Amino acid sequence: MTRSKIVGFERELPEFTADNFDLSKIVDTSDEWITSRTGISRRHISTEQNTSDLCIAAAERLLKKAGWEPETVDLVIVGTVTPDYQTPSTACLVQAALNLENAFCFDLSAACSGFIYSLSAADKFIKAGGVKRAVVLGGETLSKITDWSDRSTCVLFGDGAGGVLLEATEEECGILFEDIHSDGKKGEALTAGYRENRNPYFKGEPHGGKFIEMNGREVFTFATRKVPESIKHVLETTNTSPDDIKYVVLHQANTRINEVIARKLKMPHEKFYSNIERTGNTSGGSVPIALADMESEGLLEKGDKIIISGFGGGLTWATMLIEL
């Protein structure tokens, strides 16, 4: 059976960082509130780069490290809700910058689950046989859709991108199983980027909603209910004991969410990798950035079984069991 093997992890973060003290000069907040409620101390914020720049830098390093020639890439997917343009897609901008002339390319919108949805889509193309090599990225410049006067959201988010290469294999490794869901009826709990219709015939009222708006408590309750259910489903269906899982890499939204999920799964908290302290919530970027950080910290080894899980806007949530 053809599977999708994961070849390398990379990430790119803007150079500039703002810590909680910096933000307390912009809005009425404190380091104490932000760290105790979220676990975040600082976040990277773009001063020049757009989403495509971050994605291109990560993809370029991935290809170089793996020694893949540009023309051997068949597919590029970018999970993002902050593309540079609506068209061309961020994935097409990556293609152009890196001369991936034989690839077909598209962006995928699933907010904080965007990278795992993108992995899932790429895995299906590989299993269907038409694609042998794919570049899968998750990247955001959330700072451009953040309301910098709203303390309840602007302290949470950061910019950054990460990604992996996927390659068709007949080995029993890579993406082993997934559980993937949406609940559009709860979408109003987390919205961003509404685009007003300004045609000369339009009679509707202005809508608002350009910037991120979130009912934090509702999203917290959703995440701590649905994610453990999803992880349990993946473990049970694949007959995998929690002891066989080396790490659980959740979307980095809040350390308190990690703690509740670890408790519900009765898994040691140390298995839940976290880098949110230094990155904030980077939405579609968070899981691949965490994986790249883990690799550079020497935490990942061939044969490791890892759970990755994203949750957020849509609402969407998605869990994967992967073997390195």
Least distance to ligand UT7, CB of residue 190, Å: 6
The whole-angstrom distance between residue 218's C-alpha and the CA centroid of its chain comes to 20
CB of 153 to ligand UT7, least distance (A): 7
By three-state DSSP, how is residue 303 classified?
Answer: coil
Nearer to ligand UT7, 229 or 304 (CB): 229
Cα–Cα dist 273/276, whole Å: 9
Inter-CA distances, 308 with 89, 119, 196, 224, 230, Å:
25, 11, 35, 15, 11
Both tokens of 289, joined, read 């950035």
Pairing status of strand 17-19 against strand 42-44? antiparallel
In the complex with ligand UT7, the residue whose CB is nearer, 168 or 214, is: 214
- Residues within the interface to ligand UT7 (CB under 6 A): 29, 33-34, 37-38, 112, 151-152, 155-156, 190, 216-217, 219-220, 223, 253-254, 257, 281, 283, 312
Beta-carbon contacts of residue 272 (< 8 Å; ≥ 6 apart): 247, 248, 249, 250, 258, 261, 262
Q: How far is the CB of 28 from ligand UT7 (least distance, A)?
A: 7
Nearest-approach distance from CB 3 to ligand UT7, in angstroms: 29
Minimum gap (Å) between residue 101 Cβ and ligand UT7: 35
Say if residues 58 and 52 touch (Cβ distance below 8 Å).
no
Closest CA to 174 of 303, 77, 318: 303
Catalytic residues: 112, 251, 281
Q: Which is nearer to ligand UT7, 254 or 319 (CB)?
A: 254
Nearer to ligand UT7, 2 or 17 (CB): 17
Cα 193 from chain centroid (whole Å): 18
15 versus 22: smaller Cβ distance to ligand UT7: 22
